[in-house]
Chain A
Amino acid sequence: MTINSLIAQGMISSLLVYLLTKLNKKLGAFLTVLFSGYLLFVIFGFQNSAGEVFSLIHFGEFELTFMTSHYAWYFAIVLTLTYFLVSFFNPYWMKKMVNPAAYNMLFMVSMVGTVGVFYAKDFLTLFIFYEIVVWSSLFIIPMGKSRKTPVIYYTISSIGSFAMLYAIFYLYHSVGSFDIQAVSEAMSQAPNTYRFVFFTMIVAGLTKLGIFPFHTWLPAAHGSAPHTFSPVLSGGLVKVGGFIALITATVIPSFKILAGDLQLMGVPFENYLIMLLGAVSIVVGTLMAIKQEDAKKLIAYSTVSNSGYIIIGLMLNDQVGFAGGMMHVFNHAMASGAMFLSFAAIAYRTGTTKMSELGGLIKRMPLTFAAYLIAIISLAGIPPMSGFASKWLIFQGLASNGMMFIALAAFFGSIGSFLYVFRPLSAAFLGQLSPKHKDVKEVPWMMQIPLIIMSFLTIFYGIFPGRILAYISKIQESVGLKGVEIEGTKIIAATGMWDSLVITLVFGGGFMLAAILFFISPKAKPVDQMNTYTSGEFIYDPDHYHYAKNYYATFENNYGNKKRVELFFDAVALRVKEFGEMVKTMFFAKSVSFSIFWIMLFFTLVYFWGDKV
């Protein structure tokens, strides 16, 4: 099996899925499960392949080629795994979709597209598949709650992708090739060209990752996308941006090419600037996530903050921080996928994701609760889960370079994440059951599978992070970095080492102790959720007194809720429209004379220019 035939199969079977879904909705959805499993299986076979070249097609005078590599495999496996796990939810949502056939088809197309992005040998192939991913995911989003957010998504995405296209053709113009390898060799002689390309091309990565100031599409799109697609967007497609950043900064070795530039804290200032943006998005994402009422928006903002970690790690380009960033790609995919999926499960049973309408679901949906709990522990970076490993590595990388400010932001984000991930846990799962949800059951077994697998992987790689890091160190060596050092379950960094097994045992012990204490101590008495008193007055809208409302009120009051970046983008859009209206009234006026005036003015200007040709 080769990558190119895999892509072709994917595209053809997406059409097949479309037709089959037209025949029978469930059948098509099951086919997406089947095919994404097949894709995962095939991709897995490429684990140790590097440097194999597959030619896809001749595209005019250009040639589209794929090449296997370790970093491509890593990203591809994370993405296909996410798609595969999420696809288990598809069959249950077909009835609610406005256009299930198109959903299934676009789901497949975007999945195949991501594989194409990662295995691209040249920039043109990369861009083609990148855009395919963008537009195929774009048309899924409006099937959810909003018709405006896809436009926001496309706008920000296209700013990134067109900037990248510009950079690609700028490179093609100066290097004469689209090939990533050839470009990276040519760039080592031309740091000035590369500096420009670095900034234009990485915009694509930043927009897709949702780094400040391009983060606004994440909450908008993830929050309103169909419930089954939000996990793909957040867990999967955001990582495509990470891949672009990887290509721009590491595969084309920025740390070598820009070695002659101003170095800030051991990295070129270009990389440092991007890291600062990452730090800002950690802070912004955390602060905004704390304020959200809707669980999906909350998780979306947490994605902004975690994208910050990823980009910081990748930009470090060193032994440990980079490994942390790469590992965080996987961890975040699993954790945010699990979070979104558990809320999709909740929405499947209750029809809402608003936290103030939920509560006490731990008794009705224990498995969903467990999956969510494990995911947030991982996301907050608490030891037995895999999230700890990646965050620890990033902190190590920051600390060893002495990057105070960014490290501060990273710590802030870590602590802030306790706040925001705990809020849905407490609001949706703990507390008292809403009377509306008395009859809620656990989700069907097929929807439980992905939750179980994600939780398992999170725990497993929390205990044995070396399994992933060994592969990441291979990646690091293939791109010219020093591989991260692992000894058994020990990870060794410059300032210390950490044995995951020992830590897991310690935490396991602590957990047992807590469990024993919980079971022997007296239980709290459950109170009905709507049983709210206000000095004898009858309450007509007990929902507003739900404890999940204004959960962090005291904390939130310390900073405003003005979405300044959104306002800025809105203002820009408004100005563009106003400009368009002005053009209409200026050049397309009703009066004929006015139009002739412009023609005469054109002649006059040519005359006053005075240049004889």
Chain B
Amino acid sequence: MSQYLYIALMFVGIYGLLSQKNILKMIISLNIMELGLNLFIISTGYIKEAKAPIILFGNEGNYVDPLPQAIVLTAIVIGLGVTAVALMLARNIYKTYGTYEIDEIRGENDD
């Protein structure tokens, strides 16, 4: 059951968020989590022995669920947007504090 693996992948990402202290690694963890989630979304639309939902002539009927595919498209793009902002933030953090390690960041939040 590959759906198990997709959920597991999501939790690998969450494990990364829990254990990593490097900002870039956290962004990667976020991406892994989103990847797992996206795979899970697609998998909810899978139907055994069904075809891709594109109408080709003389070959109608018995398609997989197209809605999760449409949704995952949106989810991926949103993930892209978030990652872009996250990377830019990471760059600004590096520029400001000279490090990507969370433990070495000083001056925010500790008053």
Q: How far is the CB of B71 from chain A (nearest CB, A)?
A: 23
CA distance A591 to B104 in the complex (A): 11
Contact flag A596-B17 (CB < 8 Å), given A590-B109, A590-B110: yes
B18 touches A596 (CB 8 A): yes
Question: What residues of chain B lie closer than 8 Å to A592, measured between beta carbons?
Answer: 17, 26, 102
CA distance A352 to B18 in the complex (A): 64
Residues B3-29 near A (CB distance < 8 A):
14, 17-21, 26
Tell me how many residues of B have a C-beta within 8 Å of chain A.
12
Contact flag A597-B18 (CB < 8 Å), given A592-B26, A592-B102: yes
Q: Considering the complex of A and B, which 8 residue pairs feature the smallest CB-CB distances, nearest first?
A: A596-B17, A590-B109, A593-B18, A596-B18, A591-B102, A597-B18, A590-B110, A593-B17
Residues B65-111 near A (CB distance < 8 A):
102, 105, 108-110
CA distance A592 to B102 in the complex (A): 9
CA distance A591 to B26 in the complex (A): 12
Per DSSP, are chain A's interface residues mostly helix, strand or loop, or mixed? helix
Question: What residues of chain A lie closer than 8 Å to B14, measured between beta carbons?
Answer: 596, 600
CA distance A593 to B14 in the complex (A): 10
CA distance A532 to B43 in the complex (A): 99
Question: What residues of chain B lie closer than 8 Å to A593, measured between beta carbons?
Answer: 17-21
Chain A's closest residue to B20 (CB) is A593
Tell me how many residues of A have a C-beta within 8 Å of chain B.
8
A residues apposed to B, CB below 8 Å: 588, 590-593, 596-597, 600
A600 touches B18 (CB 8 A): yes
Question: What residues of chain B lie closer than 8 Å to A588, measured between beta carbons?
Answer: 109
A–B Cβ pairs within 8 angstroms, 22 of them: A588-B109, A590-B102, A590-B105, A590-B108, A590-B109, A590-B110, A591-B21, A591-B102, A592-B17, A592-B26, A592-B102, A593-B17, A593-B18, A593-B19, A593-B20, A593-B21, A596-B14, A596-B17, A596-B18, A597-B18, A600-B14, A600-B18
CA distance A588 to B20 in the complex (A): 18
Q: How far is the CB of A284 from chain B (nearest CB, A)?
A: 42
Q: How far is the CB of A439 from chain B (nearest CB, A)?
A: 54
* Known interface pairs A591-B102, A600-B18; 7 further A-B residue pairs with C-beta atoms within 8 A, sorted by A's residue number: A588-B109, A590-B109, A592-B17, A592-B102, A596-B14, A596-B18, A600-B14
Q: How far is the CB of A597 from chain B (nearest CB, A)?
A: 6
Q: How far is the CB of B111 from chain A (nearest CB, A)?
A: 11
Question: What residues of chain A lie closer than 8 Å to B109, measured between beta carbons?
Answer: 588, 590
Q: How far is the CB of B99 from chain A (nearest CB, A)?
A: 14
Question: What residues of chain A lie closer than 8 Å to B110, measured between beta carbons?
Answer: 590
Question: What residues of chain A lie closer than 8 Å to B20, measured between beta carbons?
Answer: 593
CA distance A600 to B15 in the complex (A): 10
Question: What residues of chain A lie closer than 8 Å to B108, measured between beta carbons?
Answer: 590
CA distance A591 to B105 in the complex (A): 10
CA distance A592 to B19 in the complex (A): 10
CA distance A591 to B19 in the complex (A): 11
